[in-house]
Structure 1
Amino acid sequence: MKACIHQPNYLPYIGFFNKIKNTEVYVLFDIAQYEKNKFCNRNQIRTENGSMYLTIPVLSKDCYLKRMCDVKLPPNSKWMKKHWKAIEANYAKSEYFDSYKDPIEKLYQTNFTSLVDFNEEIIKFLINEFCLESTIIKSTDLNLDQNLKSTDLLINILKEINAASYLSGSSGKNYLNELTFKKEGIKLEYQHFTHPVYKQRFNGFVENMAAFDLLFNIGEKSKQMI
Protein backbone atom coordinates (compact mmCIF):
# COMPACT_ATOMS: atom_id res chain seq x y z
CA MET A 1 0.00 0.00 0.00
CA LYS A 2 1.30 3.42 -1.00
CA ALA A 3 0.74 6.48 1.19
CA CYS A 4 1.39 10.20 1.14
CA ILE A 5 1.65 12.52 4.12
CA HIS A 6 0.90 16.22 3.90
CA GLN A 7 -0.22 19.12 6.08
CA PRO A 8 -3.88 20.11 5.60
CA ASN A 9 -3.21 23.30 3.65
CA TYR A 10 -5.78 26.02 3.06
CA LEU A 11 -7.25 25.88 -0.47
CA PRO A 12 -4.52 23.53 -1.79
CA TYR A 13 -3.39 23.70 -5.39
CA ILE A 14 -3.98 20.79 -7.75
CA GLY A 15 -0.53 19.23 -7.26
CA PHE A 16 -1.63 18.45 -3.70
CA PHE A 17 -4.52 16.37 -5.07
CA ASN A 18 -2.36 14.75 -7.73
CA LYS A 19 -0.27 13.28 -4.91
CA ILE A 20 -3.40 11.95 -3.19
CA LYS A 21 -4.67 10.51 -6.49
CA ASN A 22 -1.53 8.42 -6.82
CA THR A 23 -1.76 6.81 -3.37
CA GLU A 24 -4.16 4.56 -1.49
CA VAL A 25 -3.91 6.49 1.79
CA TYR A 26 -3.53 10.19 2.50
CA VAL A 27 -2.29 10.92 6.02
CA LEU A 28 -3.54 14.35 7.03
CA PHE A 29 -0.46 15.58 8.89
CA ASP A 30 -2.21 17.68 11.51
CA ILE A 31 0.56 17.30 14.10
CA ALA A 32 3.00 19.22 11.91
CA GLN A 33 4.32 22.44 13.40
CA TYR A 34 2.45 25.47 12.16
CA GLU A 35 4.60 27.60 9.88
CA LYS A 36 3.99 31.32 9.58
CA ASN A 37 3.36 32.72 6.08
CA LYS A 38 3.14 29.26 4.51
CA PHE A 39 0.21 27.50 2.85
CA CYS A 40 -1.32 26.30 6.11
CA ASN A 41 -3.44 29.44 6.32
CA ARG A 42 -3.17 31.11 2.92
CA ASN A 43 -3.31 30.44 -0.79
CA GLN A 44 -3.90 32.16 -4.11
CA ILE A 45 -6.91 32.65 -6.34
CA ARG A 46 -6.96 33.97 -9.91
CA THR A 47 -7.85 37.60 -10.55
CA GLU A 48 -7.97 39.88 -13.56
CA ASN A 49 -4.57 41.24 -12.57
CA GLY A 50 -2.93 37.86 -12.03
CA SER A 51 -3.54 36.45 -8.57
CA MET A 52 -4.17 37.41 -4.96
CA TYR A 53 -3.60 35.73 -1.61
CA LEU A 54 -6.44 34.84 0.72
CA THR A 55 -4.96 34.67 4.22
CA ILE A 56 -6.71 33.36 7.33
CA PRO A 57 -5.84 35.62 10.31
CA VAL A 58 -5.09 32.87 12.83
CA LEU A 59 -5.96 33.61 16.42
CA SER A 60 -2.75 33.30 18.41
CA LYS A 61 0.40 35.39 18.06
CA ASP A 62 2.50 32.40 19.13
CA CYS A 63 0.77 29.92 16.80
CA TYR A 64 4.07 29.25 15.03
CA LEU A 65 5.11 27.41 18.19
CA LYS A 66 2.10 25.09 18.01
CA ARG A 67 1.08 22.00 16.13
CA MET A 68 -1.43 22.68 13.36
CA CYS A 69 -4.15 20.82 15.23
CA ASP A 70 -3.79 23.30 18.12
CA VAL A 71 -4.14 26.47 16.03
CA LYS A 72 -7.50 28.19 16.51
CA LEU A 73 -9.41 30.40 14.12
CA PRO A 74 -10.48 33.93 15.04
CA PRO A 75 -13.86 34.04 16.82
CA ASN A 76 -14.88 36.82 14.44
CA SER A 77 -16.04 35.46 11.08
CA LYS A 78 -15.43 38.65 9.10
CA TRP A 79 -12.46 37.03 7.33
CA MET A 80 -14.68 34.18 6.09
CA LYS A 81 -17.11 36.64 4.57
CA LYS A 82 -14.22 38.55 3.02
CA HIS A 83 -12.70 35.39 1.50
CA TRP A 84 -16.01 34.23 0.09
CA LYS A 85 -16.71 37.66 -1.41
CA ALA A 86 -13.28 37.58 -3.09
CA ILE A 87 -13.93 34.10 -4.48
CA GLU A 88 -17.38 35.09 -5.70
CA ALA A 89 -16.19 38.36 -7.24
CA ASN A 90 -13.44 36.67 -9.24
CA TYR A 91 -15.22 33.45 -10.23
CA ALA A 92 -18.94 34.29 -10.47
CA LYS A 93 -18.68 34.53 -14.25
CA SER A 94 -16.63 31.35 -14.62
CA GLU A 95 -18.44 28.69 -16.62
CA TYR A 96 -18.99 26.22 -13.78
CA PHE A 97 -19.13 28.50 -10.74
CA ASP A 98 -22.87 27.99 -10.21
CA SER A 99 -22.40 24.21 -10.20
CA TYR A 100 -20.29 24.34 -7.03
CA LYS A 101 -21.25 27.64 -5.42
CA ASP A 102 -23.73 26.43 -2.80
CA PRO A 103 -21.67 23.76 -0.96
CA ILE A 104 -18.57 25.97 -0.95
CA GLU A 105 -20.45 29.00 0.29
CA LYS A 106 -21.90 26.82 3.04
CA LEU A 107 -18.37 25.96 4.22
CA TYR A 108 -17.67 29.68 4.54
CA GLN A 109 -20.83 30.09 6.62
CA THR A 110 -20.01 27.27 9.04
CA ASN A 111 -18.76 28.09 12.52
CA PHE A 112 -15.36 26.37 12.62
CA THR A 113 -13.05 26.97 15.58
CA SER A 114 -10.01 24.99 14.40
CA LEU A 115 -7.81 25.80 11.40
CA VAL A 116 -7.32 22.09 10.67
CA ASP A 117 -11.06 21.35 10.79
CA PHE A 118 -11.83 24.08 8.26
CA ASN A 119 -9.00 23.08 5.92
CA GLU A 120 -9.94 19.41 6.22
CA GLU A 121 -13.53 20.03 5.13
CA ILE A 122 -12.37 21.94 2.05
CA ILE A 123 -9.92 19.14 1.21
CA LYS A 124 -12.61 16.48 1.62
CA PHE A 125 -14.97 18.44 -0.62
CA LEU A 126 -12.36 18.66 -3.36
CA ILE A 127 -11.33 15.01 -3.01
CA ASN A 128 -14.97 14.10 -3.56
CA GLU A 129 -15.40 16.40 -6.56
CA PHE A 130 -12.20 15.09 -8.16
CA CYS A 131 -13.44 11.51 -7.54
CA LEU A 132 -10.30 10.47 -5.67
CA GLU A 133 -10.53 7.15 -3.83
CA SER A 134 -7.76 7.47 -1.26
CA THR A 135 -8.55 6.81 2.38
CA ILE A 136 -7.91 9.76 4.74
CA ILE A 137 -6.22 9.13 8.09
CA LYS A 138 -5.44 11.91 10.57
CA SER A 139 -2.05 11.72 12.24
CA THR A 140 -3.66 12.69 15.57
CA ASP A 141 -5.57 9.40 15.42
CA LEU A 142 -2.37 7.35 15.28
CA ASN A 143 -0.21 6.12 18.15
CA LEU A 144 2.92 8.11 17.33
CA ASP A 145 6.08 9.12 19.13
CA GLN A 146 5.77 12.85 18.63
CA ASN A 147 9.28 13.43 19.92
CA LEU A 148 10.51 12.10 16.59
CA LYS A 149 11.37 14.53 13.83
CA SER A 150 11.59 14.62 10.05
CA THR A 151 12.26 11.24 8.40
CA ASP A 152 11.96 9.30 11.67
CA LEU A 153 8.46 10.66 12.30
CA LEU A 154 7.38 9.89 8.74
CA ILE A 155 8.66 6.31 9.13
CA ASN A 156 6.73 6.02 12.40
CA ILE A 157 3.53 7.11 10.63
CA LEU A 158 4.08 4.76 7.70
CA LYS A 159 4.67 1.80 10.00
CA GLU A 160 1.51 2.60 11.97
CA ILE A 161 -0.60 2.39 8.81
CA ASN A 162 1.36 -0.56 7.36
CA ALA A 163 2.44 1.33 4.26
CA ALA A 164 4.96 -0.40 2.00
CA SER A 165 5.62 2.69 -0.11
CA TYR A 166 5.76 6.45 0.45
CA LEU A 167 5.11 9.12 -2.18
CA SER A 168 6.92 12.34 -1.33
CA GLY A 169 6.78 15.70 -3.01
CA SER A 170 9.81 16.45 -5.18
CA SER A 171 11.23 18.78 -2.51
CA GLY A 172 11.62 15.77 -0.22
CA LYS A 173 14.91 15.08 -1.99
CA ASN A 174 16.31 18.02 -0.05
CA TYR A 175 15.58 16.72 3.44
CA LEU A 176 14.56 13.06 3.54
CA ASN A 177 17.05 10.44 4.69
CA GLU A 178 16.75 7.91 1.88
CA LEU A 179 18.97 5.39 3.67
CA THR A 180 16.52 5.26 6.58
CA PHE A 181 13.66 4.37 4.22
CA LYS A 182 15.79 1.65 2.67
CA LYS A 183 16.78 0.29 6.07
CA GLU A 184 13.15 0.15 7.19
CA GLY A 185 12.07 -1.61 4.00
CA ILE A 186 9.76 1.20 2.84
CA LYS A 187 9.97 2.17 -0.82
CA LEU A 188 10.48 5.90 -1.34
CA GLU A 189 9.10 7.54 -4.45
CA TYR A 190 8.99 11.19 -5.53
CA GLN A 191 6.09 12.93 -7.18
CA HIS A 192 6.55 14.00 -10.78
CA PHE A 193 3.85 16.58 -11.35
CA THR A 194 3.53 18.78 -14.41
CA HIS A 195 0.96 21.51 -13.96
CA PRO A 196 -1.71 21.31 -16.69
CA VAL A 197 -2.74 24.39 -18.64
CA TYR A 198 -6.47 25.01 -18.95
CA LYS A 199 -8.75 27.90 -19.85
CA GLN A 200 -9.16 30.34 -16.99
CA ARG A 201 -11.76 33.07 -16.84
CA PHE A 202 -9.22 35.85 -17.36
CA ASN A 203 -6.78 36.12 -20.24
CA GLY A 204 -3.51 34.23 -19.96
CA PHE A 205 -2.77 31.37 -17.62
CA VAL A 206 -1.46 31.53 -14.05
CA GLU A 207 -0.53 28.19 -12.46
CA ASN A 208 -0.55 27.05 -8.84
CA MET A 209 -3.89 28.63 -8.00
CA ALA A 210 -6.20 27.11 -5.40
CA ALA A 211 -7.84 23.99 -6.83
CA PHE A 212 -11.21 25.78 -6.85
CA ASP A 213 -9.84 27.57 -9.91
CA LEU A 214 -9.75 24.34 -11.89
CA LEU A 215 -13.21 23.29 -10.73
CA PHE A 216 -14.88 26.61 -11.49
CA ASN A 217 -13.33 26.82 -14.94
CA ILE A 218 -13.66 23.32 -16.37
CA GLY A 219 -16.11 21.51 -14.07
CA GLU A 220 -16.36 17.73 -14.47
CA LYS A 221 -13.31 17.67 -16.72
CA SER A 222 -11.24 18.52 -13.62
CA LYS A 223 -11.04 14.82 -12.77
CA GLN A 224 -8.96 14.22 -15.88
CA MET A 225 -6.54 17.07 -15.13
CA ILE A 226 -5.47 16.03 -11.62
Structure 2
Amino acid sequence: MRIAIMQPYFLPYLGYFQLMNLVDVFVIYDEIQYTKKGWINRNRILVNNDAQTITLPLKKDSDYLNIKDRILADHWPKERKKLLAKIYNCYKKAPEFDKTYDLLESIFEYDEQNLFKFIQFSLKQLMSHFNITTSLVVSSDISFDNKLKSSDKVLAICRASEATHYINPIGGLELYDKKQFEAQDVKLNFLRSNLSIYPQFENEFVPGLSVVDAMMFNSPQELSNLIQNDFELV
Protein backbone atom coordinates (compact mmCIF):
# COMPACT_ATOMS: atom_id res chain seq x y z
CA MET A 1 0.00 0.00 0.00
CA ARG A 2 1.27 3.44 -0.95
CA ILE A 3 1.03 6.32 1.50
CA ALA A 4 1.87 10.03 1.61
CA ILE A 5 1.83 12.35 4.62
CA MET A 6 1.45 16.13 4.36
CA GLN A 7 0.38 19.23 6.23
CA PRO A 8 -3.06 20.54 5.24
CA TYR A 9 -2.58 23.40 2.78
CA PHE A 10 -5.02 26.08 1.61
CA LEU A 11 -5.76 25.59 -2.11
CA PRO A 12 -2.31 23.98 -2.63
CA TYR A 13 -0.32 23.85 -5.83
CA LEU A 14 -0.96 21.16 -8.43
CA GLY A 15 1.87 18.92 -7.20
CA TYR A 16 -0.05 18.35 -3.96
CA PHE A 17 -2.81 16.65 -5.95
CA GLN A 18 -0.33 14.71 -8.06
CA LEU A 19 0.99 13.20 -4.84
CA MET A 20 -2.49 12.62 -3.51
CA ASN A 21 -3.56 10.83 -6.69
CA LEU A 22 -0.47 8.64 -6.68
CA VAL A 23 -1.08 6.95 -3.30
CA ASP A 24 -3.75 4.77 -1.69
CA VAL A 25 -3.82 6.70 1.60
CA PHE A 26 -3.09 10.40 2.01
CA VAL A 27 -2.54 11.45 5.63
CA ILE A 28 -2.91 15.08 6.70
CA TYR A 29 -1.40 16.22 9.98
CA ASP A 30 -3.71 17.93 12.44
CA GLU A 31 -1.61 17.56 15.60
CA ILE A 32 1.42 19.55 14.54
CA GLN A 33 2.21 23.15 15.39
CA TYR A 34 0.85 25.83 13.10
CA THR A 35 3.59 27.78 11.32
CA LYS A 36 3.15 31.29 9.94
CA LYS A 37 5.72 30.94 7.17
CA GLY A 38 4.23 27.82 5.60
CA TRP A 39 1.30 27.34 3.22
CA ILE A 40 -1.28 26.17 5.73
CA ASN A 41 -3.55 29.21 5.48
CA ARG A 42 -2.13 31.10 2.50
CA ASN A 43 -1.32 30.71 -1.17
CA ARG A 44 -0.72 32.74 -4.30
CA ILE A 45 -2.84 33.67 -7.31
CA LEU A 46 -2.25 35.64 -10.49
CA VAL A 47 -2.94 39.36 -10.08
CA ASN A 48 -2.06 41.64 -13.02
CA ASN A 49 0.46 39.08 -14.30
CA ASP A 50 2.18 38.82 -10.94
CA ALA A 51 1.99 36.42 -7.99
CA GLN A 52 0.04 37.82 -5.05
CA THR A 53 -0.58 36.12 -1.71
CA ILE A 54 -4.09 35.34 -0.48
CA THR A 55 -4.65 34.41 3.16
CA LEU A 56 -7.21 32.83 5.46
CA PRO A 57 -7.26 35.27 8.42
CA LEU A 58 -6.84 33.69 11.84
CA LYS A 59 -7.78 34.74 15.35
CA LYS A 60 -4.81 35.91 17.37
CA ASP A 61 -3.67 33.08 19.59
CA SER A 62 -0.62 31.25 20.91
CA ASP A 63 2.01 30.42 18.31
CA TYR A 64 2.37 27.02 19.96
CA LEU A 65 -1.12 25.76 19.16
CA ASN A 66 -1.59 22.82 16.82
CA ILE A 67 -3.26 23.32 13.46
CA LYS A 68 -6.45 21.69 14.71
CA ASP A 69 -6.73 24.31 17.46
CA ARG A 70 -6.48 27.42 15.28
CA ILE A 71 -9.66 29.33 14.46
CA LEU A 72 -10.55 31.59 11.55
CA ALA A 73 -10.90 35.27 12.45
CA ASP A 74 -14.30 36.72 13.32
CA HIS A 75 -14.15 38.91 10.21
CA TRP A 76 -13.68 35.89 7.90
CA PRO A 77 -17.29 36.08 6.55
CA LYS A 78 -16.57 39.60 5.27
CA GLU A 79 -13.04 38.71 4.20
CA ARG A 80 -14.16 35.77 2.08
CA LYS A 81 -16.43 38.06 0.06
CA LYS A 82 -13.44 40.30 -0.65
CA LEU A 83 -11.30 37.31 -1.54
CA LEU A 84 -13.91 35.87 -3.89
CA ALA A 85 -14.27 39.30 -5.49
CA LYS A 86 -10.50 39.46 -6.04
CA ILE A 87 -10.48 36.02 -7.65
CA TYR A 88 -13.46 37.02 -9.79
CA ASN A 89 -11.78 40.18 -11.05
CA CYS A 90 -8.45 38.47 -11.71
CA TYR A 91 -9.77 35.41 -13.54
CA LYS A 92 -13.17 36.35 -15.00
CA LYS A 93 -11.77 36.18 -18.55
CA ALA A 94 -10.02 32.83 -18.03
CA PRO A 95 -11.36 29.99 -20.22
CA GLU A 96 -12.42 27.73 -17.33
CA PHE A 97 -13.64 30.51 -15.04
CA ASP A 98 -17.31 29.56 -14.60
CA LYS A 99 -16.98 26.02 -13.27
CA THR A 100 -13.89 26.89 -11.22
CA TYR A 101 -15.46 29.91 -9.57
CA ASP A 102 -18.61 27.96 -8.69
CA LEU A 103 -16.46 25.37 -6.90
CA LEU A 104 -14.51 28.05 -5.04
CA GLU A 105 -17.75 29.68 -3.89
CA SER A 106 -18.91 26.36 -2.43
CA ILE A 107 -15.59 26.02 -0.59
CA PHE A 108 -15.39 29.57 0.74
CA GLU A 109 -18.99 29.59 1.92
CA TYR A 110 -18.55 26.45 4.02
CA ASP A 111 -19.76 27.38 7.50
CA GLU A 112 -16.76 26.33 9.60
CA GLN A 113 -14.48 28.46 11.78
CA ASN A 114 -11.94 25.76 12.65
CA LEU A 115 -8.91 26.14 10.37
CA PHE A 116 -8.15 22.43 10.02
CA LYS A 117 -11.75 21.42 9.36
CA PHE A 118 -12.14 24.19 6.80
CA ILE A 119 -9.03 23.10 4.88
CA GLN A 120 -10.00 19.44 5.17
CA PHE A 121 -13.35 20.25 3.58
CA SER A 122 -11.71 22.21 0.77
CA LEU A 123 -9.34 19.32 0.02
CA LYS A 124 -12.24 16.88 -0.15
CA GLN A 125 -14.10 19.18 -2.54
CA LEU A 126 -11.07 19.48 -4.80
CA MET A 127 -10.44 15.72 -4.68
CA SER A 128 -14.00 15.12 -5.84
CA HIS A 129 -13.60 17.70 -8.61
CA PHE A 130 -10.44 15.95 -9.84
CA ASN A 131 -11.97 12.46 -9.44
CA ILE A 132 -9.26 11.47 -6.95
CA THR A 133 -10.46 8.45 -4.97
CA THR A 134 -7.54 8.23 -2.53
CA SER A 135 -8.48 7.72 1.12
CA LEU A 136 -7.97 10.97 3.06
CA VAL A 137 -6.96 10.22 6.67
CA VAL A 138 -6.38 12.57 9.62
CA SER A 139 -3.17 11.83 11.54
CA SER A 140 -4.85 11.91 14.97
CA ASP A 141 -7.04 9.01 13.86
CA ILE A 142 -3.91 6.84 13.55
CA SER A 143 -2.38 5.18 16.62
CA PHE A 144 1.30 6.17 16.79
CA ASP A 145 3.70 8.11 19.03
CA ASN A 146 3.14 11.72 18.01
CA LYS A 147 6.24 12.82 19.95
CA LEU A 148 8.48 11.20 17.34
CA LYS A 149 10.24 13.46 14.85
CA SER A 150 11.08 13.46 11.15
CA SER A 151 11.61 10.03 9.56
CA ASP A 152 10.85 8.19 12.82
CA LYS A 153 7.36 9.72 12.86
CA VAL A 154 6.82 8.93 9.17
CA LEU A 155 7.87 5.31 9.66
CA ALA A 156 5.62 4.99 12.71
CA ILE A 157 2.65 6.15 10.63
CA CYS A 158 3.64 3.76 7.85
CA ARG A 159 3.74 0.83 10.30
CA ALA A 160 0.44 1.79 11.90
CA SER A 161 -1.15 2.07 8.44
CA GLU A 162 0.49 -1.14 7.15
CA ALA A 163 2.01 0.85 4.31
CA THR A 164 4.77 -0.70 2.19
CA HIS A 165 5.60 2.32 0.03
CA TYR A 166 6.05 5.92 1.20
CA ILE A 167 6.13 8.76 -1.33
CA ASN A 168 7.30 12.25 -0.36
CA PRO A 169 7.65 15.49 -2.35
CA ILE A 170 11.11 16.07 -3.80
CA GLY A 171 11.84 18.60 -1.06
CA GLY A 172 12.41 15.73 1.36
CA LEU A 173 15.22 14.21 -0.69
CA GLU A 174 17.86 15.33 1.80
CA LEU A 175 15.72 14.58 4.86
CA TYR A 176 14.99 10.89 4.41
CA ASP A 177 17.34 7.96 3.84
CA LYS A 178 16.10 5.16 1.60
CA LYS A 179 18.18 2.60 3.53
CA GLN A 180 16.47 3.53 6.80
CA PHE A 181 13.08 2.93 5.17
CA GLU A 182 14.21 -0.30 3.49
CA ALA A 183 15.31 -1.60 6.91
CA GLN A 184 11.66 -1.21 7.96
CA ASP A 185 10.41 -2.91 4.76
CA VAL A 186 9.12 0.39 3.39
CA LYS A 187 10.02 1.52 -0.11
CA LEU A 188 10.81 5.25 -0.35
CA ASN A 189 10.37 7.44 -3.42
CA PHE A 190 10.23 11.17 -4.08
CA LEU A 191 7.84 12.94 -6.41
CA ARG A 192 9.30 15.66 -8.62
CA SER A 193 6.54 17.73 -10.22
CA ASN A 194 7.37 19.01 -13.69
CA LEU A 195 4.68 21.72 -13.48
CA SER A 196 4.48 22.30 -17.20
CA ILE A 197 3.89 25.76 -18.56
CA TYR A 198 0.31 26.49 -19.66
CA PRO A 199 -1.20 29.65 -21.17
CA GLN A 200 -2.07 32.37 -18.64
CA PHE A 201 -3.93 34.88 -20.81
CA GLU A 202 -1.27 36.22 -23.22
CA ASN A 203 1.41 36.99 -20.66
CA GLU A 204 4.65 35.36 -19.61
CA PHE A 205 3.99 32.29 -17.45
CA VAL A 206 4.11 32.84 -13.67
CA PRO A 207 4.94 29.55 -11.87
CA GLY A 208 4.35 28.38 -8.30
CA LEU A 209 0.72 29.43 -7.93
CA SER A 210 -2.28 27.84 -6.24
CA VAL A 211 -4.17 25.06 -8.00
CA VAL A 212 -6.82 27.73 -8.56
CA ASP A 213 -4.67 29.14 -11.36
CA ALA A 214 -4.24 25.78 -13.08
CA MET A 215 -7.98 25.16 -12.85
CA MET A 216 -8.79 28.53 -14.42
CA PHE A 217 -6.67 27.91 -17.51
CA ASN A 218 -6.89 24.15 -18.11
CA SER A 219 -9.84 22.02 -19.20
CA PRO A 220 -10.82 19.02 -17.03
CA GLN A 221 -9.00 16.72 -19.45
CA GLU A 222 -5.88 18.88 -19.42
CA LEU A 223 -5.94 19.00 -15.61
CA SER A 224 -6.34 15.25 -15.45
CA ASN A 225 -3.31 14.82 -17.69
CA LEU A 226 -1.23 17.21 -15.56
CA ILE A 227 -2.20 15.42 -12.35
CA GLN A 228 -1.65 11.91 -13.68
CA ASN A 229 1.42 12.37 -15.87
CA ASP A 230 3.29 15.64 -15.32
CA PHE A 231 5.82 14.34 -12.75
CA GLU A 232 8.51 11.76 -12.16
CA LEU A 233 9.40 9.49 -9.26
CA VAL A 234 13.00 9.33 -8.03
Please classify the TM superposition score into its range, dividing by the shorter chain length: over 0.9
Cα distance in 2, alignment partners of residues 65 and 112 from structure 1: 22
Distance 2:218 2:49 in 1: 20
Q: Offset of 1:12 from its aligned partner?
A: 0.1
**Structure 1 counterpart SS, 2:176:** coil
Equivalent residue number for residue 48 of structure 1: 48
Letter in 1 for 2:74: P
Q: SS at the partner of 1:197? A: coil
Cα distance in 2 for residues equivalent to 1:156 and 1:81: 42
Contact 2:49 2:203 in 1 (8 A): no
CA distance in 1, matches of 2:137, 2:109: 26
What is aligned with 2:143? 143
The residue identity in structure 1 corresponding to 2:124 is: K
Q: CA deviation at 1:73?
A: 1.0
Report the 3-state secondary structure (helix = DSSP H, G, I; strand = E; otherwise coil) of the residue aligned with 1:137.
Answer: strand
For residues 59 and 22 of structure 1, what CA distance do their matches in structure 2 show? 35
Deviation at 1:112, TM superposition (A): 1.4
Aligned CA RMSD, in angstroms, stands at 1.6
Structure 1 stretch displaced more, 88-97 or 76-85: 76-85
- Aligned residue in 2 for 1:206: 206
SS at 1:140 equivalent: helix
For 1:74-111, what per-residue CA distance to the aligned partner results, in whole angstroms no more than 9, with x for missing partners?
A: 12222222221111111111111112322321221222
Q: Which amino acid aligns with 1:54?
A: I
Separation (CA, whole Å) in 2 of partners of 1:105 and 1:10? 14
Work out the CA distance in 2 between the residues paired with 1:114 and 1:193: 30
> Which residue matches 1:167?
167
Residue 76 in structure 1 maps to residue 51 in structure 2? no
TM-score, normalization by structure 2? 0.90
Q: Give the distance between the partners of 1:82 and 1:177, measured in 2 at CA.
A: 45
Q: Which residue of 1 aligns with 2:114?
A: 114
Give 2:186's aligned amino acid: I
Matches within 5 A, 1:184-223: 184-201=184-201, 203-220=203-220, 221-223=222-224
CA offset at residue 46 of structure 1?
Answer: 1.0
CA shift for structure 1 position 57: 2.1
| Aligned equivalents of 1:148, 1:214: Cα separation in 2 | 36
Contact 2:34-2:66 at 8 Å conserved across structures: yes
- Displacement of 1:116 in angstroms is 1.2
Distance (Å, rounded) in 1 between the aligned partners of 2:176 and 2:69: 26
Paired residue type of 1:140? S
Residue 66 (structure 1) aligns with: 65
- Structure 1 CA distance for aligned equivalents of residues 195 and 85 of structure 2: 27
TM-score by length of 1: 0.93
% identical equivalent positions:
27
Indicate the SS of the match to 2:219.
helix
Q: Which residue of 2 aligns with 1:225?
A: 226
Report the AA paired with residue 72 of structure 1: I
- State the SS of the aligned residue for 1:184: coil
Is 1:89 the counterpart of 2:89? The answer is yes
Amino acid in the other structure paired with 1:170? I
